[in-house]
Amino acid sequence: MMSYHPCMDQPEYLLCINCETPCYTFEWVDLQVKEAVCTVCGADDPDDFITEEDFEAMTSAG
């Protein structure tokens, strides 16, 4: 962990990694996704959702 942002609370939205759709309805607990459902592709596994920050890190890495 290179940096920690104590002010970074719940993100405004999450991104579904399957279809890259912003998801505004989710549960955010203890700095991670607890529950989320993608209304587009139906993904409901918390592992299928990431924050915009993580998404950008992921897409710019490769």
Residue ranges binding Zn ion (CB under 5 A): 16, 18-19, 21, 38, 40-41, 43
CB of 56 to Zn ion, least distance (A): 17
Q: How far is the CB of 40 from Zn ion (least distance, A)?
A: 5
Q: How far apart are CA 11 and CA 1, in angstroms?
A: 19
Smallest distance from the beta carbon of 42 to Zn ion, in angstroms? Answer: 7
Q: In the complex with Zn ion, which residue's Cβ is closer, 38 or 50?
A: 38
Structural element, H or E, at residue 53: helix 52-61
19 CB-side CA count, 13 A = 11
Question: What token pair was written down for 11?
Answer: 């993100």
